[in-house]
Amino acid sequence: MTAPALKWNGNMNEGAIEGVSKLIKKNGIEIVDFKFNDLPGLWQHFSIPSSELAEIDDPMTSIWAEGIGFDGSSIRGFQQIQESDMILIPDAETAVMDPICETPTASIICDVYDPITKQPYTRDPRYIAKKAEKYLKDSGLADTSYWGPELEFFIFNDIRFGQSVNKGFYYIDSVEGEWNSGAVEQPNLGYKPRFKEGYFPVPPHDSLQDWRSRTILQMIRAGIPIEVHHHEVATAGQCEIDMRFDTLVKMADRCMMFKYIVKNIARKNNMVASFMPKPLYGDNGSGMHTHQSLWKGGKNIFFDEKGYAKISQMAKNYIGGLLTHADALMAFCAPTTNSYKRLVPGYEAPVNLVYSMRNRSAAVRIPVYSENPKTKRVEFRPPDPACNPYLSFSAMLMAGLDGVKRKIDPGEPFDKNTYEVSRSEAKKIPTVPDSLEKSIEALENDHKFLLDGGVFTQDVIDVWIEYKRSEMDKVRLRPHPYEFYLYFDI
């Protein structure tokens, strides 16, 4: 199957463009902000006065057709200096009132194009996600995939870090931190969630209730349906906000807006949000458990009344693909050196490459909260929120589809608590890689399934591997503060 054809004017939706005009007039928009994704997963942006938008009644000669130029060599993972000119084409369907800016601002997500070939840019993460969705439809196996990531994060009150030739440190503080139970706070009012006891206590232990409520209301205003919010397990302000499931590209777009809102509302309240997988030693890290299902003709084809945990054979094969390619998937789903401080065997992280219903110690869990066929899905638990959602969702979909096409058998479910099995039995359970280096090596050796249909391209794989190895070198070459504790007096 060849790469899906997406054209220069692929975002040309005159109805949506007219909707942008109405949004601007109704809300007195003065600024239009254009956002796009770099390869590692951070939003980039620039803004123009709303008066600079071309007349809506002639969209073919406007910014919607011709795009906006930018320097691709200044964006991580994009172009080299001699090929820096790139084009952004706004996607009018993504236009919303920016939920953060004080000046009335419209926020629009863009796709990246090459001005010479007039083709979508192969390293644009959003383009990869669009190709993954089209590949699914063209496969005939299903026509829609639904995604429901659970992003965990920390809200801190202070963070400092630094690294130079002669020093390196980090310092985190939180009014909720258990370590502050004896601090002189004039007054210290107590109610610090103990380590691993932050899950679901009411205020005053949960000091962030109102903050999260204000945050989700901003998300809802920005078009993100929210199902629930709560404090998470760790001390020191660990939170979770769950979005209602949606299709792949839309959910990846929402993940980016989600992080944008969380970070900025924290900052406006003199706090700081971190999606780092493992910022604290000795307590739970932050994951991004990702629920996923395949649908065809409006029917959830992961459901089977007679199957294990009421999942179909297709769902089992999809799980087989996730487990078979899990090592390579981690290069996109757990893409930082810090990710592997969370993915440690023997703790609460889901490192074991088995599947089970209800069992949160398995890499793949099949939720059984409801018997409604529409709710049946699989949950892949190793990913973390440091990932680029466009790439991680696309990679998981491609792994699952490879399992379906090849009818990969995931074996028998593992319904035991993997933390309580014998040592000899535990050694037989495969686990995710224990370092970014091993995940990158796995991707290097196992990425053919990602190239199917031209969804990922070899240049994306190559630049990802190169970029991540440079990150590993930066960490590997620097002394660690704890090494001084262990070795200074040798």
Distance CA 302, CA 305 (A): 10
- Number of domains composing the chain: 2
Q: Is residue 5 part of a domain?
A: no
Catalytic residue among 71, 409, 473, 483: 71
Distance CA 461, CA 442 (A): 12
Residues 98 and 236 in one domain: no
Residues 460 and 406 in one domain: yes
Q: Give pLDDT, residue 46.
A: 93
Residues 238 and 314 in one domain: yes
Query: What's the CATH code of the domain at 88?
Result: 3.10.20.70
Does 57 participate in catalysis according to the annotation? no
Q: Is residue 133 part of a domain?
A: no
Q: Is residue 238 part of a domain?
A: yes
Residues 80 and 170 in one domain: no
Catalytic residue among 76, 267, 360, 478: 360
Residues 164 and 295 in one domain: yes
Does 381 participate in catalysis according to the annotation? yes
Catalytic residue among 133, 176, 232, 304: 232
57 class by beta-carbon count within 10 Å (0-12 exposed, 13-18 middle, 19+ buried): exposed
Q: Is residue 4 part of a domain?
A: no
Q: Give pLDDT, residue 416.
A: 80
Residue at a domain's end among 68, 88, 121: 121
Does 379 participate in catalysis according to the annotation? yes
Catalytic residue among 124, 381, 384, 447: 381
Q: Is residue 2 part of a domain?
A: no
Residues 207 and 69 in one domain: no
> pTM score, two decimals?
0.95
Does 240 participate in catalysis according to the annotation? yes
Q: Print the domain residue range for 333.
A: 144-487
Q: Is residue 131 part of a domain?
A: no
Q: Give pLDDT, residue 422.
A: 78
Residues 436 and 322 in one domain: yes
Query: What's the CATH code of the domain at 290?
Result: 3.30.590.10
Residues 236 and 364 in one domain: yes
Q: Is residue 8 part of a domain?
A: no
Q: Give pLDDT, residue 437.
A: 98
Catalytic residue among 33, 240, 327, 384: 240
Residues 217 and 348 in one domain: yes
Residues 65 and 189 in one domain: no
Residues 263 and 171 in one domain: yes
Q: Give pLDDT, residue 17.
A: 87
Q: Give pLDDT, residue 1.
A: 46
Catalytic residue among 289, 325, 377, 447: 289
Catalytic residue among 379, 384, 402, 447: 379
Does 441 participate in catalysis according to the annotation? no
Half-sphere exposure of residue 212: CA atoms within 13 angstroms, side-chain side: 22
pLDDT in tens, the chain (490 residues): 444 455 555 666 778 888 998 999 999 999 999 999 999 999 999 999 998 875 544 554 578 888 899 898 899 989 876 677 899 999 999 999 999 999 999 999 999 999 888 899 999 999 999 999 999 999 999 999 999 999 999 999 999 999 999 999 999 999 999 999 999 999 999 999 999 999 999 999 999 999 999 999 999 999 999 999 999 999 999 999 999 999 999 999 999 999 999 999 999 999 999 999 999 999 999 999 999 999 999 999 999 999 999 999 999 999 999 999 999 999 999 999 999 999 997 667 899 999 999 777 799 999 988 889 999 999 999 999 999 999 999 999 999 999 999 999 999 999 887 767 777 887 889 999 999 999 999 999 999 999 999 999 999 999 999 999 999 999 999 999 999 999 999 9
Judge whether 279 and 287 are in contact, CB under 8 Å.
Answer: no
Does 437 participate in catalysis according to the annotation? no
Q: Give pLDDT, residue 410.
A: 97
Residues 63 and 207 in one domain: no
Q: Is residue 127 part of a domain?
A: no
Residue at a domain's end among 106, 121, 136: 121
Does 232 participate in catalysis according to the annotation? yes
